[in-house]
């Protein structure tokens, strides 16, 4: 995705969700089931489509006489409260100007404005996802294209950056094609031929489309393409947009995945805007709030905790408002739920509770988040609302909050914090354990479809918790005073854990005895981690440079499948010890939530320093810390 900023978190890298804000990975889905339309009776819909809130205030139908006698000036419709996000204003009344290419009727009930760059790879993905939708809704949706080339040659907001070398040339070619009524044909061809944008190649596309080449040449050499593009760039500046793609449906920014079925979901909601919606009422959680909620799944009813679980002083999971939830591994969560007479929720149950209707395994693969969008996309309603949940914290300094403390982060049925705050463990066994919902840093991707299964069931840090399910209601009368404090112990300053025992590559075991008498650079890595690969050559050099002085490198692979770690290191030809922890239990002992995380250990086995990530500017200080111990 073209953007001037980037972001992401360690868990987020594992999730098959594609964001407008910053591409992580692509989840391709099929179509939207008609049952989604029923979910328009949820929070947030009236804000995206303000006419809904206005309709709910209208009196019942009157006779012609009554209407004449009571005629009053029409009240202006309420507008959403726009929020300034990293990707621009969440709501903006976007003008459709004469120079903008459009397709679809002018009076269509839904207008979709797409702001794109022809050299942007994610824009290409959006183009292919919207292709079928244009056919499906040809008489109901008006599509509007606006330019935002990521190149300073025609976009003054790029400063001196020419991120996409052919972005301006391709945009000019599309404007000239538009003058001959060939914009959409050129649009499709440019995405087919992405990055093949030399002047000669572009002219060849014009010829292929049967355009008047003399007119094309005259247009291309004129000031008209640059003038048209500048108008869109000026508008983007007002909208606070600095990257592509951006999609607005009826002036409301689309957030989250932009796969075809998700866009279809929003289009259907927009077309149902003539139907009154009832917003879910935000309720502040108190001691009297229900502790468990009955939910339907395909095979019948079950009960789920209304709050993220805490653990009481006897070790039982409790559902209590206004306390800190427990930080847990799957093993911790399973033990606490069983102690309370409950059990771990299955993926089917958790998703059913989140979307508000029985979940389906559309692909018959045991997963309930990789099929068509059904029910609610977000647990509290169909649209992302910033600050509704604890999901917009800074990725480095953010933290979770108390259970039920965000009254808007509640399903209409009364379940709190399914989105954001803490990832929640689910799964009937350690083998099928996964984390759902996102944590306090996940922003728009913290949806009912958020599933992470990168690490094993032993993983625990301050981003991960759980809640329990049961076949029948379990009475819970615990209070805040019964809850055991949740904490993660800092390992720096302490010794290597006594229970550290892992298999070593090539045979043998890694345990605390291997650290005695040596200075150790201990690193945790995963096969998907780019910075982990980046630091491997440096570690090999350090092993050779200081080995005779009593130095060693030990690397622990935490891929859930050992073969992935093996495949990763084969080409690296490591000269240091590699151990495997597919359960990720050691990540809990060392409080790890980013890859790579590194530790320097002295000759007595005491951990002296934690280093998160691998940065060139920190190499000197890392070398000094090692040499001081040597």
**pLDDT on residue 486:** 81
DSSP readout, 158-175? Answer: GTT--SSTTHHHHHHHHH
* Beta carbons within 8 Å of 457's beta carbon, 6+ residues apart: 329, 330, 331, 425, 427, 430, 431, 433, 583, 584
Question: Domain boundary residue among 255, 274, 293?
Answer: 274
- In the chain, helix, strand, coil percent, each to 5? 30, 15, 50
In a domain? residue 255: yes
Q: How confident is the model at residue 274 (pLDDT cuts 50, 70, 90)?
A: very low
Residue 45 scores a pLDDT above 70: no
Tell me, what CATH number does 533's domain have? Answer: 3.40.30.10
Which residue in this structure is represented by tokens 């809704």? Answer: 137
Secondary structure of residue 204 in the 3-state scheme: helix
Average pLDDT over residues 524-530: 92
| CA–centroid distance for 459 within its chain | 20
**pLDDT on residue 5:** 29
**pLDDT on residue 382:** 74
**pLDDT on residue 79:** 67
Residue 72 scores a pLDDT above 80: no
pLDDT tens digits, 137-168: 999 999 999 999 999 999 999 999 999 999 99
pLDDT tens digits, 186-201: 999 999 999 999 999 9
In a domain? residue 496: no
Sign of the four-CA dihedral 37, 40, 45, 51: positive
Highest mean pLDDT, choosing among 6-15, 31-40, 165-174: 165-174
DSSP readout, 311-341? Answer: EBTTS-EE--TTSPPPP--HHHHHHHHHHTT
Which has the minimum average pLDDT: 86-90, 97-101, 129-133, 456-460?
86-90
Cα–Cα nearest to 336, from 205, 467, 189: 467
In a domain? residue 32: yes
**pLDDT on residue 411:** 94
Total of domains in the chain: 2
pLDDT tens digits, 534-549: 999 999 999 999 999 9
Residue 19 scores a pLDDT above 60: no
CA distance 317 to 269: 38
What is the extent of the structural domain holding 80?
Answer: 2-62+76-274
Q: How confident is the model at residue 622 (pLDDT cuts 50, 70, 90)?
A: very high
In a domain? residue 624: yes
Residue 32 scores a pLDDT above 50: no
Say if strands 88-89 and 84-85 run parallel, antiparallel, or are unpaired. antiparallel
**pLDDT on residue 543:** 95
In a domain? residue 6: yes
Residue 504 scores a pLDDT above 70: yes
Beta bridge pairs of residue 302: 295
**pLDDT on residue 273:** 60
Q: How confident is the model at residue 13 (pLDDT cuts 50, 70, 90)?
A: very low
pLDDT tens digits, 418-452: 999 999 999 999 999 999 999 999 988 899 999 99
In a domain? residue 20: yes
Q: How confident is the model at residue 42 (pLDDT cuts 50, 70, 90)?
A: very low
Secondary structure of residue 419 in the 3-state scheme: coil
Residue 40 scores a pLDDT above 70: no
**pLDDT on residue 385:** 78
The mean of the pLDDT values for the chain is 85
Question: Domain boundary residue among 226, 248, 274?
Answer: 274
Structure tokens at 65: 């006489």
**pLDDT on residue 256:** 67
**pLDDT on residue 75:** 44
In a domain? residue 536: yes
**pLDDT on residue 78:** 57
Question: Domain boundary residue among 216, 250, 274?
Answer: 274
The structure's pTM equals 0.66
Residue 225 scores a pLDDT above 80: yes
**pLDDT on residue 282:** 65
In a domain? residue 119: yes
Residues above pLDDT 90, as percent of the chain: 69
């Amino acid at each position: 995705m073209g953007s001037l900023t980037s972001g992401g978190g360690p868990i987020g890298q594992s999730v098959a969700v594609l964001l407008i804000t910053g591409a992580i990975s692509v989840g391709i889905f099929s179509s939207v089931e008609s049952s989604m339309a029923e979910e328009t009776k949820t929070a947030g819909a009236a804000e995206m489509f303000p006419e809904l809130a206005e309709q709910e205030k209208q009196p019942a139908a009157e006779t012609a006489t009554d209407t004449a006698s009571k005629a009053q000036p029409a009240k202006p419709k309420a507008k959403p409260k726009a929020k300034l996000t990293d990707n621009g204003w969440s709501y903006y009344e976007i003008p459709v100007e004469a120079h903008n290419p459009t397709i679809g009727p002018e009076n269509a009930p839904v207008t979709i404005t797409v702001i794109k760059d022809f050299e942007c790879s994610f824009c290409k993905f959006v183009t292919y996802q919207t292709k079928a939708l244009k056919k499906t809704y040809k008489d109901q949706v008006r599509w509007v294209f606006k330019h935002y080339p990521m190149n300073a040659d025609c976009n003054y907001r790029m400063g001196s950056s020419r991120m996409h070398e052919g972005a301006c040339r391709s945009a000019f070619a599309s404007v000239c094609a538009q003058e001959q009524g060939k914009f959409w044909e050129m649009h499709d061809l440019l995405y087919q031929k992405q990055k093949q944008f030399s002047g000669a190649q572009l002219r060849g596309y014009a010829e292929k489309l049967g355009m008047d080449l003399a007119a094309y040449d005259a247009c291309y050499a004129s000031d008209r393409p640059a003038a048209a593009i500048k108008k869109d760039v000026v508008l983007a500046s007002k909208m606070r947009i600095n990257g592509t793609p951006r999609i607005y449906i009826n002036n409301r920014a689309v957030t989250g995945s932009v796969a075809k079925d998700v866009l279809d979901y929003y289009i259907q909601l927009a077309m149902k805007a003539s139907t009154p919606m009832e917003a879910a009422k935000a309720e502040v959680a108190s001691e009297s709030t229900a502790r468990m909620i009955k939910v339907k799944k395909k095979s019948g009813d079950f009960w789920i905790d209304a709050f993220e679980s805490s653990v009481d002083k006897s070790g039982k999971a409790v559902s209590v408002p206004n306390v800190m939830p427990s930080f847990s591994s799957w093993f911790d969560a399973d033990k606490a739920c069983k102690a309370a007479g409950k059990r771990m929720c299955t993926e089917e149950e958790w998703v059913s509770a989140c979307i508000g209707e029985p979940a389906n395994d559309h692909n018959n693969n045991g997963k309930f988040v990789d099929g068509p969008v059904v029910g609610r996309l977000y647990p509290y309603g169909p649209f992302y609302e910033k600050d509704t949940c604890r999901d917009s914290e800074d990725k480095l300094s953010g933290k979770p909050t108390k259970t039920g403390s965000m009254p808007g982060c509640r399903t209409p049925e009364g379940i709190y914090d399914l989105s954001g705050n803490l990832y929640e463990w689910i799964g009937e066994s350690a083998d099928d354990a996964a984390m759902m919902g996102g944590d306090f840093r996940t922003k728009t991707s913290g949806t009912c479809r958020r599933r992470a299964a990168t690490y094993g069931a032993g993983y625990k840090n301050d981003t991960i918790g759980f809640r329990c399910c049961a076949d029948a209601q379990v009475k819970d009368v615990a209070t805040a005073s019964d809850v055991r404090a949740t904490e993660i112990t800092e390992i720096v300053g302490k010794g290597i854990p006594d229970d550290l025992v892992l298999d070593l590559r090539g045979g043998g075991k890694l345990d605390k005895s291997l650290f005695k008498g040596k200075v150790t650079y201990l690193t945790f890595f995963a096969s998907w981690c780019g910075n982990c690969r980046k630091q491997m050559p440096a570690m090999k050099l350090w092993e050779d440079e200081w080995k005779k002085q009593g130095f060693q490198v030990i690397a622990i692979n935490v891929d859930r499948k050992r073969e992935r770690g093996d495949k990763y290191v084969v080409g690296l030809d490591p000269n240091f010890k590699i151990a495997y922890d597919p359960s990720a239990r050691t990540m809990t002992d060392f409080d790890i939530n980013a890859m790579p995380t590194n530790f320097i250990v002295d000759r007595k086995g005491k951990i002296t320093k934690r280093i998160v990530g691998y940065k060139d500017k920190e190499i000197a200080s890392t070398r000094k810390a090692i040499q001081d111990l040597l």
